[in-house]
Amino acid sequence: MPIKKAAYKAIKKSKVKHARNAIIKSELKTIVKKFDKLIAGKKTDEAKKMVDIISSKFCRAASKGIIHKNTASRKISRLKKRLAASTKT
């Protein structure tokens, strides 16, 4: 157990940050699943709007340090690639 008061504060802050990060990561996963449903349902117009929202959320999470910037970039790229493939067929 921590001895100093500052160590207790650090633990408390770390728990709060962990909870906030978990909420945001969960939201990202949920919105990607909604995007996948739109792609599967051939609703490309709605998917195009959704991909802009998703990319901004991923960029924001990356800028806050919740996920790595390369991870955000990779996921956005793959989503746009999926959207492009669905519009071709």
Per-residue confidence (pLDDT) for residue 88, from 0 to 100:
83
**38-54 pLDDT, tens digit each:** 999 999 999 999 999 99
* Measured torsion, CA atoms of residues 72, 37, 40, 58, in degrees rounded to the nearest 10: -10
The C-alpha atoms of residue 73 and residue 78 are separated, in whole angstroms, by 9
Total-model pTM: 0.86
What are the residue ranges spanned by the domains of the chain?
44-89
58-63: Cβ within 8 A, 24+ apart: 58/28, 61/24, 61/25, 61/28
Q: Which residues of the chain have pLDDT under 50?
A: none
